[in-house]
């Protein structure tokens, strides 16, 4: 049996997971609430919280899976990209554990793991090749997945990510951090066509969201006092509708260009109910096979690191102890 202990610490979630022969046995996540009062993630505070959380989280993952360190086949960790201080905590812990146990070490690319999170559910996983719309706070990409190790980015944002657009427009509305989930919540009660915001016209499969944020800002500056409170649901619904429309226009174009009709979503924003529903509707309308990860595998989590490490283990793709985390990394 191939048993992977995986650790994820790229931003502000400390997570550990146990995977046995490609099946996730446990997936524990410790969220950091300290950043809420600052309106965003504070890197130094995130690093300190990881140091406090990592041992309890790993112990919880092992206990829940009824597993011990001696039976683990390899130790996996997120190597890039992310906040360098946060990555260092997970990397040094994983490397130390691998050295002390004399176990193989597997370094995992965070964005590759988001894509391969779609392979976790054995009952509903895509066949290769497939397209994956990967949307998070730091990334927005369309990935052409030909195999677990042949992943080609065929479109990406030229400025801001979709997740950042959600959070920054939420801040303009006076909503607390993280604002993306709150926009999703209020949008359910609003009219998505109440207000119209800019959709940047970017060529081919690339994205842009900076113009949308500016459009929302200028629109709100023209309104009278109390406008946001009176129209919060409609504003959230309209902003969410615009972001989703930008995303879906590009994935429709990608399907047209590649001919691939297996379509997945991944990343933190794939937990957005509006996007999940819209992709499902596209699948019905255009005869796509759509795949949507469970909520727990959308945001940063160690299960996606574990499933990626499992495939890397099968391919004998191991790292040595000289490997270091990297804040920015290409595929």
Q: How far apart are CA 40 and CA 36, in angstroms?
A: 6
Q: Dihedrals φ, ψ of 296, to 5°?
A: -65, -15
Give the residue among 302, 319, 314 at the shortest CA–CA distance from 120.
302
Report the residue count for the chain.
331
Taking residues 122-146, what's their average pLDDT? 94
- Tens digits of residue pLDDT in 220-273: 999 999 999 999 999 999 999 999 999 999 999 999 999 999 999 999 999 999
**Residue 275 domain-assigned (yes or no):** yes
- Tens digits of residue pLDDT in 291-314: 999 999 999 999 999 999 999 999
Supply the pLDDT for residue 6. 98
How many domains, in total, are found in the chain?
Answer: 2
**Percent of the chain whose pLDDT exceeds 70:** 97
Least confident of 26-30, 200-204, 284-288: 200-204
**Residue 322 domain-assigned (yes or no):** no
- Tens digits of residue pLDDT in 98-126: 999 999 999 999 999 999 999 999 888 99
Supply the pLDDT for residue 93. 98
Under a CB-based contact definition with an 8 Å cutoff, are residues 318 and 311 in contact? no
**Residue 326 domain-assigned (yes or no):** no
Supply the pLDDT for residue 137. 83
Supply the pLDDT for residue 40. 72
Beta bridge partners of 147: 150
Q: Which two tokens stand for residue 219?
A: 């629109």
For residues 308 and 269, membership in a common domain is answered with no
Supply the pLDDT for residue 173. 97
Supply the pLDDT for residue 44. 83
Q: How far apart are CA 32 and CA 140, in angstroms?
A: 23
For residues 176 and 88, membership in a common domain is answered with no
For residues 303 and 212, membership in a common domain is answered with no
Is the model more confident about 268 or about 329?
268
Taking residues 6-11, what's their average pLDDT? 96
Order across the sheet with 13-20: list the strands. 23-31, 13-20, 3-8, 74-80, 105-109
Supply the pLDDT for residue 243. 98
Query: Beta 140-147 vs 150-156: how paired, if at all?
Result: antiparallel
Supply the pLDDT for residue 329. 75
**Residue 325 domain-assigned (yes or no):** no
Q: How far apart are CA 93 and CA 106, in angstroms?
A: 13
Check which CATH number belongs to the domain holding 105 and give it: 3.30.420.40
Residue 17 pLDDT > 70:
yes
For the entire predicted model, the pTM comes to 0.94
Q: Which two tokens stand for residue 75?
A: 């130790």
For residues 174 and 56, membership in a common domain is answered with no
Q: Dihedrals φ, ψ of 160, to 5°?
A: -95, 160
Domain around 171: 126-292
Supply the pLDDT for residue 197. 97
Residue 95 pLDDT > 80:
yes
For residues 250 and 305, membership in a common domain is answered with no
Supply the pLDDT for residue 42. 83
Beta bridge partners of 157: 207
For residues 303 and 287, membership in a common domain is answered with no
**Residue 331 domain-assigned (yes or no):** no
Taking residues 278-292, what's their average pLDDT? 97
For residues 226 and 286, membership in a common domain is answered with yes
For residues 246 and 140, membership in a common domain is answered with yes
Under a CB-based contact definition with an 8 Å cutoff, are residues 162 and 133 in contact? no
For residues 284 and 306, membership in a common domain is answered with no
- Tens digits of residue pLDDT in 35-86: 666 667 787 888 998 999 999 999 999 999 999 999 999 999 999 999 999 9
For residues 154 and 90, membership in a common domain is answered with no
Q: Dihedrals φ, ψ of 6, to 5°?
A: -115, 145
**Residue 234 domain-assigned (yes or no):** yes
**Residue 121 domain-assigned (yes or no):** no
**Residue 94 domain-assigned (yes or no):** yes
For residues 265 and 195, membership in a common domain is answered with yes
Give the chain's mean pLDDT.
94
**Percent of the chain whose pLDDT exceeds 90:** 88
Under a CB-based contact definition with an 8 Å cutoff, are residues 170 and 207 in contact? no
For residues 196 and 256, membership in a common domain is answered with yes
């Amino acid at each position: 049996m191939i048993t992977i202990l995986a650790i994820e610490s790229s931003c502000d979630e400390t997570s550990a997971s146990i995977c046995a022969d490609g099946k996730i046995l446990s997936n524990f996540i410790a969220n950091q609430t300290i950043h809420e009062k600052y309106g965003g993630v504070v890197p130094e505070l995130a690093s300190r919280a990881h140091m406090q959380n990592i041992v309890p989280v790993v112990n919880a993952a092992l206990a829940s899976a009824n597993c011990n360190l001696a039976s683990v086949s390899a130790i996996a960790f997120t190597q890039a990209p992310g906040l360098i201080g946060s990555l260092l905590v997970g990397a040094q812990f994983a490397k130390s554990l691998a050295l002390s146990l004399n176990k193989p070490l597997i370094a995992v690319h965070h964005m590759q793991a988001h894509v391969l999170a779609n392979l976790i559910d054995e009952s509903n996983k895509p066949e290769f090749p497939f397209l994956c719309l990967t949307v998070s706070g730091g990334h927005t990409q369309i990935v052409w997945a030909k195999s677990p190790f042949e992943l080609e980015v065929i479109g990406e944002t030229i400025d801001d990510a979709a997740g950042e657009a959600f959070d920054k427009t939420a801040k303009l509305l006076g909503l607390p951090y993280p604002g993306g989930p709150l926009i999703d919540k209020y949008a359910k009660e609003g009219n998505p066509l109440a207000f119209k915001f800019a959709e940047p016209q970017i060529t081919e499969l690339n994205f842009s969201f900076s113009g949308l944020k500016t459009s929302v800002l200028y629109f709100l500056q023209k309104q009278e006092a109390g406008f946001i409170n009176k129209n919060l649901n409609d504003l959230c619904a309209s902003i969410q509708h615009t972001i989703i429309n930008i995303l879906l226009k590009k994935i429709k174009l990608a399907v047209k260009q590649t001919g691939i009709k297996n379509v997945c979503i991944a990343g933190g924003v794939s937990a957005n109910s509006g996007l999940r529903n819209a992709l499902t509707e596209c699948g019905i309308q255009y005869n796509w096979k759509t795949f949507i990860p469970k909520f727990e595998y959308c945001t940063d989590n160690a299960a996606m690191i574990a499933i990626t490490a499992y495939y890397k283990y099968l391919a004998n793709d191991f790292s040595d102890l000289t490997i270091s985390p990297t804040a920015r990394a290409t595929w």
